[in-house]
Amino acid sequence: MRRLKPAILGLILCGATAAAAQAAECPGNPNALGTSRTIVVDPVEHPKLGTMQYRETLPLEDHEVVLTFDDGPLPPRSTRVLEILASECVKATYFMVGRMARAYPDMVRRIHEAGHTIGTHSESHPLSFHRMSMDHAQQEINQGIASVTSALGDGTKPAPFFRIPGLLRADGVERYLASEHLMVWSADLDADDWTRISSAQVYARALARIEANHGGIVLLHDIQPRTVEALPYLLKELKRRGYRIVHIVPASADMPRTATDPRLWTRHARQTWPQVPIYIEAESESELPAPSPASFGIARPFNRPPPMLGPTRSRTALARRQVPLPPISVWPRSLDEPPPAPPSSADPALPAPSPKNFGYTGGYPGEAAAPVAAERKASFDVVPQTTNDAVELRRILMESEHVKDDPVTGSVTLRAPPRDPVATTPMPRGAFP
């Protein structure tokens, strides 16, 4: 027991040291999300990123997230996003529009001094990179880089990271960016914060897609008020669910690229069915002989398919090759063929039914119609007046107010009873008491 006490004390001291280091890294917030690690990437080696459009993405491990922000800077929203990231000691990657950087150079320098990576997003954010001329595309790319460089000052250049506006990629634009050693960034998922949705929906969609993808590159916009409102809640929930933030920086002469497993760059890539044959190894050739037509029940192989002839000749040609064929169906080949006659029986044949079998005397069209009474009235003359019960029934009906007796013809007509006033009362409107 005495030997275990120094070990336990050492673990407690290590834990206290780690907590103190975390508090020192993020002063004022010991429970901050923080930045778990930094990955140095080479744009020449990996020119295109983001599984929303490309095969490769960043070599992230499970539950690792890279935050990216587009279209800024735009105070005070970009200022608030920068403060939220600082409170959680989180590093992100910005893709700035050139004209926004020229309008707010102080904001550009604040983001750079906070340690975030700054890429570019064209000069004026045109949503036509997929159909504009190459001269126009090159002008947008180069002018955007020049504007951000001017805003940074002291000759500092932005990172060689570029995101095409609207993700409207084009092969010619991507080839030009690769020739300039610029890495094209797409994303692994976005939060739709550029659409007209609430901040709660931005939070819910971002979190749901991060969970479904187990991390990845998240596309956000620091110029949107809904993003500003959702960001602090999103970072706290990512911390609670065990996610870690990764910072991305470009390789340089004094900062070599991070050694990574090449397979991690395609971890999130869409898998395709392998177009290669599958072989089975055997110990000897006698165990698995080479297949032949005889293996499939064909006695004599044929080198060409049977001719497309009529049904009789085709079946004859296949029969000569001894291919087993199913029996011919006995179902009639045509609907025009009459059905087979029923078997004879000793019972007498029943006569065909007629309307008279069902009590209908009007007949079908073409037949002589039976005379119909001029007026259909219920007459009690058909009731035999031989019993006292019948006489009593007639007397009761005659005294009823619903029976009308015609003194001329002697017939009795039933009248419909008056409607119940309760049944005709309309339903009251509104809810029931």
Domain coordinates in residue numbering, the chain:
35-266
Q: Rounded mean pLDDT of the chain?
A: 75
With tokens 């998240």, the residue in question is 218
Residue 381 has pLDDT above 50, yes or no: no
Q: Is 246 exposed, middle or buried (0-12, 13-18, 19+ CB in 10 A)?
A: buried
At 144 the pLDDT is 97
pLDDT at 266: 84
pLDDT at 279: 34
At 250-293, the pLDDT tens digits run: 999 889 999 988 888 986 544 433 333 333 333 444 445 566 66
Return the DSSP state at 6: H
* Range with lowest mean pLDDT among 92-101, 102-111, 303-312: 303-312
Strand 412-414 versus strand 403-405 pairing type: antiparallel
pTM (predicted TM-score): 0.59
DSSP 252: B
- Residue 312 φ then ψ, to 5°: -70, -50
Closest CA to 144 of 72, 44, 200, 247: 72
Q: Is 190 helix (H, G, I), strand (E, B) or coil?
A: strand
User: Hey, how many other C-beta atoms are within 10 angstroms of the C-beta on 211?
Assistant: 13
pLDDT top residue among 293 and 44 = 44
How confident is the model over 305-316, as a mean pLDDT? 50
Average pLDDT over residues 357-384: 50
Residue with tokens 């497993």: 261
pLDDT of residue 333: 47
- 215 neighbors 36 (Cβ within 8 angstroms): no
Residue 211 and residue 73 in contact, taking contact as beta carbons nearer than 8 Å? no
Least confident segment among 70-84, 216-230, 262-276: 262-276
Position 25 scores a pLDDT of 74
- Could you tell me the CATH superfamily of domain 35-266? Glycoside hydrolase/deacetylase (3.20.20.370)
Confidence (pLDDT) at 264: 86
Tell me how far apart the alpha carbons of residues 165 and 278 are, in angstroms, rounded to a whole number.
44
For residue 348, what pLDDT is reported?
A: 58
Query: Worst-scoring range by mean pLDDT, 169-173, 190-194, 307-311?
Result: 307-311
Number of other residues whose CB lies within 10 A of the CB of residue 364: 9
**pLDDT score recorded for residue 29:** 87
